[in-house]
Amino acid sequence: MAQRPIFIPSFDGPLLVRTVGVTFEWLAGLSLSQRQRSIDSLHAAGRQLAGVSRILDISSKSREKLGTALSAFNLTLRTPDHPQSLSVECAFQGSKVFEHGGPYVDIFAMSSRDAKRDERLQSSGRLTGFRFASVDWPLEPQTAFYDWLYITALMQNPALIRQLEGFSAFSDIEFNPERSVNCQAYAVALYVSLAGRGELRTPGCSRDAFLRIVGGRPVSNARQDDTGQTTLF
């Protein structure tokens, strides 16, 4: 058995995303078929949650073409500073600033897989922040930069947004909350919540505007829970 988070958009109240840890049968093995069987098991357990009927797994292993397209390895964005299309993964990794180097903007031109594996990300010391499109981001709120980056990319892909209708929750079978903080499925749930509340009215959202929207609210994700529940993981 294993436990993974299900991310549920919230459309009223201060909480934007509700995160619930779900216990399910994990099918061992690295093959695509085994990962997809684990997704099926996770979703069967997740559908027992109140208000959850249809779950989309967002990862390169998803059964749904939409889920694969929404993987940070595949979802792309452009900015005035970076007119060439780059994946969310490359943008995120290439924006990291460390105490001994970075941002390593040459990562923007790499494949998503190579970007994530670049050895400089491990050898440059402590992460101190992010810099993207000439804008600096702090480490706190903890997932703010990644969420903003992902949502910015998503808003540039309206055809994908239209396909999100009908999904009530999101997962990422590749996300392990014991090893990672940022999660593409959480970012999608956050987008759905903000869009449903009418908070995202323009094609883009500046750092300060985004931080005003999400700042000061209680957080429920795989690493932080301000709702008074017991620790999820």
pLDDT tier, 230 (very low <50, low <70, confident <90, very high otherwise): very low
pLDDT at 231 over 50: no
Digit-coded pLDDT (tens) for 52-80: 999 999 999 999 999 999 999 999 999 88
Mean pLDDT of 77-97: 94
| DSSP codes, the chain | -EEEEEEEE--SSS-SEEEEEEEE----SSSHHHHHHHHHHHHHHHTTSTT---EEE-STT-SSHHHHHTSTTT-EEEETTEEEEEEHHHHHHHTEEETTB---GGGGGS-HHHHHH-THHHHS-SEEEEEETTEEE-S-STTHHHHHHHHHHHHT-HHHHHHTTT--EEE-TT--TTT-S--HHHHHHHHHHHHHTT---SS---HHHHHHHHTTS--BSSS-B-SSPPP--
pLDDT at 229 over 60: no
Q: What is the pLDDT of residue 81?
A: 82
pLDDT tier, 200 (very low <50, low <70, confident <90, very high otherwise): confident
Digit-coded pLDDT (tens) for 109-162: 999 999 999 999 999 999 999 999 999 999 999 999 999 999 999 999 999 999
Query: What is d(CA 131, CA 33) in angstroms, rounded to the nearest whole number?
Result: 38
